[in-house]
Amino acid sequence: MIEIALLAIAILVITLTLGVPLPYCFGAALMIMYFIGDVTMKGMMLWGVQQLGNPILLAIPLFVLAGTIMAESGIAAALLRFVNVFVGHIRGGLGVVATVSCAVIGAISGSGLTGIAAIGPILIPEMEKRGYPREYATALIANSSILGLLIPPSVTMIIYGWVTDTSILACFLATLGPGLLIMLSFSVTNLWMSRKFDLILDDKPTFNELSSEVAKRGIHAFPALLMPVIILGGIYGGIMTPTEAAAVAVIYSVPVGFLFYKGLKVENFFAAGKEAATAVGAIMFMILFSMILSQMFVYESIPQKIVASIFEITENKVLLLIFINIMLFLVGMVVNDVTAIILIAPLLLPLMNAIGVSPIQFAAIMGVNTAMGGVTPPYASILYLGARIGNVKVTKVIPPAMFLIVTGYIPVVFLTSFWPDLSLYLPRLFGY
């Protein structure tokens, strides 16, 4: 049966790579399991629909909608201007602004695409005007946008917690350390790269000028800065569940966008709602079919058989972790992060338990590996969107993007796997 399961996964990956719509990809894998594997479908569809009624999943469309509204309303622009006042006069400072801003946007929206959508149109032309190559600016912002999948609250961690029955708050905390370290790593790499560019810098302000500008921009950015404080403070303070925090994010962003920043109009508000609904509809169909497929694997004891097969090759923990990281990276290259987590997490969790890796640390390992797929072809949805927003050929964006991945991202991937405290310290601090 394990051979048939692997065939189903192979068909899924091949159809996804060929650009077949997601529901058909999972439908093809289900047909393999049903016709060749002789797995019953009785009650499976009803069970899958019942799973979609879980209140946890309601957080996904709400966070997606909140992120879309942010991109349209001017909230992101206000955050950007405020952060820039501190480092605008430093060589490479604007690149640091891009990285930090994407992290903050990600902390609010829970999505990787929101960062590039909100920051890209504002910052890519500005960075080019200041002397950064346009393809480098696009690559930096695209790569920094994957922080939205790591800096909590994260949609992918909601999915992981749901499919593995792990505390979602613990999953949020697990990816926070790696996410902040990647943000720091990208910032340092950018400062080093900026030495090669002929940059136009702001004049270094005096203390009085800096204080005045911080106060002025701080007042304007205060409603935007208050948003992550409310959301993250509510979640970590135990006041709100992630679903409730997502609802608050939407409720808060609408009046702020309409009344304060005034970037939100009736037309683009409804357009944002339509865009979010389209994205969520695709996600929900994908979740339905992938959950049914995963349940079929569970019924046939496929995860246990995979563990036994892998242990026949080696039981060395270091080698197994290296192998798993490589596999997750390759999977992330051809499918999106949500698909990878739903499909792979239940299969590999028994193996991780067997080698002494906790489900919380595994959340971080899966998070950092699958997030990388957003900028690594052929999937690379965030990179393609960045190239479109930046009006640059994808082939020109790929080299600087891969340089940032190799120098600033992959080291953190291995640290997450081999240094448990990086992902477990904060969850333990909160009692997990």
Residue 141: which residues within 8 A CB-CB, separation 6 or more?
Answer: 98, 102, 115, 116, 119, 120, 123, 124, 386, 390
Mean pLDDT of 383-388: 82
Q: What is the pLDDT of residues 27-86, one digit of tens each?
A: 788 788 777 776 666 667 676 777 666 666 677 777 777 777 776 777 777 877 787 777
Mean pLDDT of 336-344: 79
Mean pLDDT of 343-371: 89
Of 395, 397, 352, the closest CA to residue 174 belongs to 352
Of 119, 124, 120, 121, the closest CA to residue 137 belongs to 124
Q: Which residue has the higher pLDDT, 150 or 35?
A: 150
Average model confidence (pLDDT) across the chain: 81
The pLDDT score that the predictor gives to residue 64 is: 72
| CA distances from residue 8 to 36, 301, 333, 403, 409 in whole angstroms, order as listed | 10, 15, 18, 34, 31
Q: CA angle, corner 179, sides to 192 and 392, nearest 5?
A: 55
Q: What is the pLDDT of residues 73-84, one digit of tens each?
A: 777 778 777 877
From the number of C-beta atoms within 10 Å of its C-beta (0-12, 13-18, 19+), residue 203 rates as exposed
Q: Which residue has the higher pLDDT, 308 or 152?
A: 152
Q: What is the pLDDT of residues 246-266, one digit of tens each?
A: 788 888 888 888 888 888 888
| CA distances from residue 7 to 1, 10, 34, 330, 350 in whole angstroms, order as listed | 10, 5, 12, 17, 21
18, two tokens: 């060929």
Give the integer Cα–Cα distance in Å for 294 and 416: 26
- Residue 37 is given by DSSP the state S
The neighbour count for residue 181, using CB atoms within 10 Å, is: 19
The pLDDT score that the predictor gives to residue 330 is: 78
Q: What is the pLDDT of residues 196-243, one digit of tens each?
A: 888 877 667 777 877 888 888 888 888 887 877 787 778 777 788 777
Question: What phi and psi, each to the nearest 5 degrees, are found at residue 192?
Answer: -70, -45
245-254 burial, b if ≥16 CB within 10 A, otherwise e? bbbbbbebbb
Least confident span in 41-45, 129-133, 136-140: 41-45
The pLDDT score that the predictor gives to residue 405 is: 93
Q: Do residues 100 and 190 lie in contact, with contact meaning Cβ atoms separated by under 8 Å?
A: no
The pLDDT score that the predictor gives to residue 7 is: 81
Least confident span in 21-30, 214-223, 358-367, 402-411: 21-30
Highest mean pLDDT pick, 117-126, 201-210, 420-429:
420-429
Give the integer Cα–Cα distance in Å for 413 and 36: 37
The pLDDT score that the predictor gives to residue 306 is: 66
The pLDDT score that the predictor gives to residue 56 is: 64
Q: Is the dihedral of CA 181, 187, 190, 195 positive or negative?
A: negative
Q: Is the dihedral of CA 100, 102, 108, 110 positive or negative?
A: negative
Give the integer Cα–Cα distance in Å for 56 and 244: 9
Question: Using 50, 70 and 90 to split pLDDT, how confident is the model at 410?
Answer: very high
The pLDDT score that the predictor gives to residue 124 is: 86
Instruction: Enter the pTM of the model.
Output: 0.77
Q: Which residue has the higher pLDDT, 416 or 394?
A: 416
Residue 34: which residues within 8 A CB-CB, separation 6 or more?
Answer: 41
Q: Do residues 194 and 91 lie in contact, with contact meaning Cβ atoms separated by under 8 Å?
A: yes
